[in-house]
Amino acid sequence: MKRLTKLLTIIFVALLCYQTNAQTIGIKGGLNLATLNEKDNDGTYSDNYDMNPGFHFGLTVDVPLNEFLSFEPGLLLTTKGMKYEDELIGLNLSGHANLYYIDVPLNLKATHEFGSGVKLYGTIGPYVGMGLSGKIKATLEFQGDEQTEEEEIKWGSNQDEDTFKRLDMGLTFGAGVEINSILLGLSYDLGLSNISTNQDNGMSVKNRVLKFSVGYRFLSKN
């Protein structure tokens, strides 16, 4: 894992150093609303999951390809996971999973300029994510008595010992507006990797994240 994280960081730094006279460098952050798509051959179990609020923060690089298209990689600290609440015959069960990742999105970006510093843009591309840490918290309430348990996420591929696989890959789609170097964006991460360590009966767990972003572009294209 450390080698892959180091490789992703080296690639991103290399992009920062490449053609700095043409590219732009930005910073962005914002709100995440995350959930997990969980199912097996018997059905889908995540229908009752709620969006778990979190955050993302990091850097982006915009490398122009032509007048309308650019390549926009990024390096983001981002949260994923889910929140749930259920009730059964007087039992109230609630909890959440908070997962922290380093994501490297590799987007193709199309931009249309309207003048007066206003631009609309759309993005699409793959992302690669590495799980850093996380925690699952569950609370059981019955007749006024409450019991809470917490468990640290264990990353790996051992079904008996680990919670989730560390590597996550998927697609990201986004759109937004840029006004005088200030960016307002909306994006959606569609996880394609099955991060479940339990493969019995076709078990599958995939990340889903809706992001609301605010950013600022520091360098202007020449």
- Cα-flanking dihedrals φ and ψ of residue 220, to 5°? -100, 145
Q: Quickly tell me which residue has 């992009």 as its tokens.
A: 15
Top pLDDT among 201 and 179 is at 179
196 assigned to some structural domain? yes
Which of 125-129, 155-159, 191-195, 197-201 is predicted with the least confidence, judged by mean pLDDT?
197-201
Pairing of strands 49-50, 24-40: unpaired
Q: Which among 119, 29, 133 is positioned nearest to 68, based on CA atoms?
A: 119
Instruction: Identify the CATH number of the domain in which residue 207 sits.
Output: 2.40.160
Looking at residue 89, its pLDDT comes to: 76
Query: What letter does residue 3 receive in the DSSP assignment?
Result: H
Taking the alpha carbons at both ends of the chain, their separation in whole angstroms is 38
The string of pLDDT tens digits covering residues 194-214 is 999 998 888 999 999 999 999
Q: Is residue 11 part of a domain?
A: yes
116 domain-assigned: yes
Model confidence, pTM: 0.87
Q: Which of 86, 108, 72, 100 is nearest to 209 (CA)?
A: 100
Per-residue pLDDT tens over the stretch 49-90: 999 999 999 999 999 999 899 999 999 999 999 999 887 777
- 51 falls within a domain: yes
State how many domains the chain has.
Answer: 1
3-state secondary structure 180-196: CCEEEEEEEEEECCCCE
Task: Give the Å distances, CA to CA, from 221 to 20, 24, 50, 54, 133.
Answer: 9, 6, 41, 32, 37
Contact of 73 with 15, CB cutoff 8 Å: yes
- 191 domain residue, yes or no: yes
Parent domain of 118: 2-80+104-131+166-217
User: How far is residue 21's CA from residue 128's CA, in Å, rounded to a whole number?
Assistant: 27
Cβ 156 vs Cβ 130: under 8 Å: no
